[in-house]
Structures are given as C-alpha cells and as structure tokens.
Amino acid sequence: MNSLFECAYEIKKATGWSQEKIGAETGLAVSTISRIFRVPGYAGNETSSRLIQQLHEEVVGSPFPAYMEQLFKKYEYWKEQYTKKEFAEHLEVLESLLKNHRAIDSYELVACRVCWLLGHIFYDRAFYLRKGYKLEMSELALVWYRRALDILGHHEGLIVQRYKIQQCIVSTNFNLCDRNERLSSEAIYRCFVDMDYLQIVKTVIREDSWNWIAARNGLVAGSILQDWESCLLFWDTMQKVNKNFADLDFEPANELPAISQDSDLVWFVKQIKERS
C-alpha cells in the first residue's frame, strides 16, 4: 500500500489540486494535509489514512483492471488482519484462482497484475510465513515477478509500475542474502546491473521528483555498485524533498534506519566522511 505521502503527491499530480482543495475533498484540516506533504514518513491516524486512500482510489487512475486493484487491497488486508495460518489458507485458494485466470498466458496488462500477485504469494511464503523451502519459494517468486516485468515491457510507458516490479525482484534477492554479505554478493551486484536498476530509478525521479523512497532505494543500489555520481544524485533528490535528509542520522520513518545506520549504505557513508 502506498504511504500517505505518496498518495497525496499522486493525487496532486493527477488533479493539479492545491492542499486546500485536497483538504476540502477529504474533509481533513489543511494543517493535516500540509503535514502529509511535508513529512515523508508521516503515518497519520486511521481516519486520515482512510480518507486519503479513498480519494486516491477515486482520482488516481490505474492501468490495471479495478477488480485486480481491489484484490491487491484484499491481499494486504488479509496479511494485516488474519493469523498466519488463516493467511496461508487464503493464499492457497488465491493461487489456484490466479493460475486459472483466462489471461495468464497472454501479454495483456491484467496478466502482468496476475503474475505480480503470484510473485507476492511466493515471496510471503518464503519470508513471512517461513514454512520452509525458502529458496524454492523465493525462486518461484522471482519467476512470477520476471514474468510480470516481461509482460509490462510490451506496453508503452508505465515507468513507475516497472520500477515497482523491479523493486520486488531486488527485495527478493536481498532477503535471500544475509545482511552482512550483501555488500560482497555477486548475485545482488548482477541483479542491479542486469536490470539497469540505477537508470530506471533515475527515470522515476525525473517523472516524480518527490519520490524519496525510490531515491533512497537508488542510493542503496548506487552504494552497493560504488557509483558515486548516482549516489549524489539520489541523495540530492531526497534533500530536495526534505532538507533533513542532509543529516545522515535523520530517521524518516519507523521502518527505515537512518542513512548512517543502514548496513547497505556503508560505502556511501564512508565516501561522505572521506570527501567532506
């Protein structure tokens, strides 16, 4: 699910609305809307989250069928609200339904979304449900994510969607590797190089200069690839979104460590210290 920050900027991009207009459409105070735009990691309360997500659904178009978008939301709901046993049972049924979708072997956009969700199923079996066979489950997740990416390649545009699938592939490879071994992992290095990951992130931030999450992911890739110029570009993008990113100890969100504390950014932090 997109963060409130992402939703707010996507609403603004799709409509051109001011913060006051977004506040009027949601019924939220302008001060709340302003904070969402200003603070990248702001989570809000249940009401503000629901209202922003609802408006986002209404005004931001998706290239994929509405029923598939609803299924993705159901998937997130199951994962958040159900026990792991219940969630696993739902995945068994969902996998069967998706694999029997009429378009699964086609290059229609709906097939991309079907394969994408199948990738999530195997990803969660590998790393969330942890029922064994981690390597087998993660390899199947990669098969489905790559199939989704291949389908998307037959359609013009959709840069952000392409990046998000690539990020799923990166996350799968990262989780397969011990945190202490990522910096020297040939598999992760080749993953970034083979998909030309830095370039796709650069394209995304040219399209959406506010997308600090993409820039942060690009910073990690640039650090692992030891690409100083790319690192500077991504870090500069983050600082333009929020000047606090200039502080390497700044923590933007609960689930993300500060740059200085991220083991995937050791090379970048070392370079900053040596060059300053």
Which one, of 146, 180, 211, lies nearest residue 3 by Cα?
Answer: 211
Let me know if residue 164 belongs to a domain.
no
**Given this model, what pLDDT does residue 179 score?**
82
Residue 152 and residue 159: Cα distance in Å, rounded? 9
**pLDDT of 1:** 64
pTM for the whole structure: 0.90
183 shares its domain with 214 = yes
Q: How far from the centroid of its chain's Cα atoms is residue 140's Cα?
A: 20
Query: Containing domain of residue 95, as a range?
Result: 63-156
Report residue 254: phi and psi, to 5°: -60, -35
Q: What is the mean pLDDT of each run of 10 residues along the chain (276 residues)?
A: 86 93 93 90 85 90 91 94 96 97 96 98 94 90 97 93 95 90 89 93 94 95 96 96 94 84 94 87
d(CA 249, CA 246): 9
Domain final residue pick, 100, 127, 156? 156
Residues 102 and 12 in one domain: no
Is the residue at 107 inside a domain?
yes
What is the pLDDT at residue 254? 65
- What is the C-alpha separation between 268 and 227, in angstroms, rounded? 9
Q: With respect to residue 248, please indicate whether it lies within any of the assigned structural domains.
A: yes
Q: Which of 122, 156, 190 is the last residue of a domain?
A: 156
Query: Are 36 and 44 contacting, i.e. CB atoms less than 8 angstroms apart?
Result: yes
Give the domain CATH number at 27.
Answer: 1.10.260
94 falls within a domain: yes
Are residue 69 and residue 94 in the same domain, yes or no? Answer: yes
- Per-residue confidence (pLDDT) for residue 109, from 0 to 100: 96
- Could you give the number of structural domains in the chain? 3
Report d(CA 65, CA 80) in Å as an integer. 23
My answer on whether 182 and 262 are in the same domain is yes
In a domain, 168, yes or no: no
Indicate whether 48 and 94 sit together in one domain.
Answer: no
Q: Is residue 77 part of a domain?
A: yes
